[in-house]
Amino acid sequence: MIPAPFEASAAKLDDGVCVIAVRGELDLSTASDLERPLEDAVSSGDASVLIDLTECEFIDSTGIALIVRAWQRLDRTADGEGSGQVVISSDNDQVRRVLEITGLELSIPIHSTRDQALAALRG
């Protein structure tokens, strides 16, 4: 089976939530394509960011590290500095397993659908 081509896109919703959608395999060879949208999303320090991994087929430690860095810079509970929030959506078993093994779900809320994640961000 050939993996889907990697793509990372960002969209700002009307309510200010930034959605970064990842498609394909997020690994060492593709992580740099995610860095720019993540950097743009967290640069203000007060954003609400949804990292949508529903079309992500695979994630490795490089992808996890990018997400953690974005969360550390942005999330108000991470270090008391930021005033934003990060959530993840994913229903892929492999991706969710990696997120669980790394303990990421203890720091960043992970939801099965984009709608659930958006509802959590909007409180």
Residue 24 placed within a domain: yes
Q: How many whole angstroms separate alpha carbon 81 and alpha carbon 61?
A: 25
Coil, strand or helix at 112 = coil
**pLDDT class of 4 with cuts at 50, 70, 90:** confident
**pLDDT class of 123 with cuts at 50, 70, 90:** confident
Q: How many whole angstroms separate alpha carbon 122 and alpha carbon 109?
A: 13
Question: How many domains in the chain?
Answer: 1
Residue 2 placed within a domain: no
CB 24 within 8 A of CB 54: no
Q: What is the CATH number for 116? A: 3.30.750.24
Q: How many whole angstroms separate alpha carbon 104 and alpha carbon 54?
A: 16
Residue 1 placed within a domain: no
CB 121 within 8 A of CB 87: yes
The per-residue pLDDT for 41 is 87
The per-residue pLDDT for 74 is 82
Identity of residue 78: A
The per-residue pLDDT for 93 is 94
The per-residue pLDDT for 81 is 60
Domain limits at 112?
7-122
How many Cβ atoms sit within 10 Å of the Cβ of residue 97?
A: 11
Tell me the pTM: 0.90
pLDDT digits (tens, 9 = 90+) for 48-69: 999 999 999 999 999 999 999 9
